[in-house]
Amino acid sequence: MARLVDEHDTRERERSADELARERDELLRLQRLLLPASLPAIGCTQAAAGYRAHNHPLSLGGDWYDLIDRPDDRVVAVIGDVVGHGVEQISVMGQLRAAANAFARVCDTPAQILSKLEEFAAELPDADMTTAQVLMLDGRETIGFASAGHLPPIVVDTKGGHRIIDTVKRPPIGLFGDGTDETLSAGVGDTIVLYTDGVVERPGVVIDEGIDELARFVAEHHERSVSEIVDGALDHFSPSANDDMALLLLRPVHERSDRYRLQRKQVAGVQIIS
């Protein structure tokens, strides 16, 4: 009788594991469907992004990123993180990402984009305490950005030096903080690093140390392509990650030109996949 009970328990555990794996696959598929399948080819900026799920079977959350090529030749980069895990948070993430993409096409500044996103999120259950960060690039070294409770951007220069950019302490979305536009400087060949907390938070590590560790990793590999750095960083940090991870890297190449604008019309739809 004891052996029959043991065999039954084993079958139940195996079935539960299979169901858990199927549920995780479904959530991960949904998460990936709501993230960009690829990033647009920008012309003046190389870009790469990646996402890694939490190590726990069902702890998939609401990390997202996006890159928008505006008709006025400005580029908007967005990264964000919805608090919590599960299908509800993934759904909220998809709605916020779509809204941010739309606002990024019509608002004039990063702070305006965040303010509109906050108005949208006020009507969205489970969107409270979402963090987000928006950058707007126009081919110049001075880049505008705004953050809502998000972690500071990192800039790695062409010699491997790095700077962690101080940000105004605007609260996360849902707490209605004042929108403030800030600036950072990044020249041709520099690498701008945007990330969610899963990349830099891990048990026993102070978050500032985690941010510095990410900055050093990118600095050590700054001569590689942005796609290689993204893949390498996610591989390096994911074994000890305690949350979802999203990473978006931007590298200014040159100012836009009339030739680029002509090519843009001729190759509409061509994309760079990270």
* Domains defined for the chain, CATH in brackets: 36-272 (3.60.40.10)
What does pTM read for this prediction? 0.82
Average pLDDT (144-149) is 94
* Res 90: pLDDT: 81
Strand partners, 252: 45
CB burial of 238-262 (b: ≥16 within 10 Å; e: otherwise) equals: eeebebbbbbbbbbbeeebeeeeee
The pLDDT-based confidence of 45 (bands split at 50, 70, 90) is confident
Helix (H) or strand (E) holding 18: helix 2-34
Question: Could you give the 3-state DSSP secondary structure of residue 75?
Answer: strand
Residue among 101, 108, 200 nearest 154 (CA): 200
Please count the CA atoms within 13 angstroms of the CA of 196 that sit on its side-chain side. Answer: 31
pLDDT of 135 higher than 90: yes
Task: Reduce the DSSP state of residue 256 to 3 states and report it.
Answer: coil
Q: How far is CA 121 from CA 147, 164, 175, in A?
A: 15, 28, 11
pLDDT at 50: 93
Of 151, 152, 156, the residue nearest 218 (C-alpha): 156
Residue 81, H or E segment: strand 75-85
Q: State the residue for tokens 């647009």.
A: 40
The share of the chain scoring above pLDDT 90, in percent, equals 49
The answer to whether 246 touches 196, Cβ cutoff 8 Å, is yes
Closest C-alpha to 204, from 240, 151, 154: 240
Q: Are 95 and 124 in contact (CB under 8 A)?
A: yes
Look-up: residue for tokens 């030109």? 257
